[in-house]
Amino acid sequence: MAMLDKLTQCRNTMKLTTQSILTQLPISPELRDKLLQKLEMADADTKFHMEQQIWDAHFELETHKEHDAIKIKMEKVKNKEEPIGDDFYTDAIKSMEEDTKKASMQANDTTEIENVRSKLQELMN
């Protein structure tokens, strides 16, 4: 069963793309559009470095979200809203991952819609 869970995690991770990460990062829509356009036009070396920086930003943001989720969980325990248990960290991370998964799915939908829009615009020209 553990192997099946790992396989499912890998599949979910594979759906995350550089483009969908850009839609999740807290940056202005104008900057996001410029980066997406630059990614499309860039040579392989520039694209590689850009993607690396975007993914690094994504993982840094995820780390901050994990820390925030743990702080929130600690506050709930402190205020006796939730009991502390063996699964304290697991529950905090699981909650954060669920929120991230929802955001990722919305970002993927947005990216797909934008891709369809741009293809339709190309057909119109």
d(CA 7, CA 4): 5
> What tokens were used for 18?
């550089």
Over residues 44-56, the pLDDT tens digits come to: 999 999 999 999 9
The phi-psi region of residue 96 (left if phi > 0; otherwise alpha if psi is between -120 and 50; otherwise beta) is: alpha
Over residues 79-125, the pLDDT tens digits come to: 888 888 888 778 888 877 777 777 666 665 666 666 666 666 666 66
| Residue ranges covered by each domain of the chain | 59-125
Sign of CA dihedral 58, 63, 66, 68: negative
* Residues making up the chain, counted from first to last: 125
Alpha helices in the chain (DSSP H): 2-14, 18-24, 29-41, 44-78, 88-124
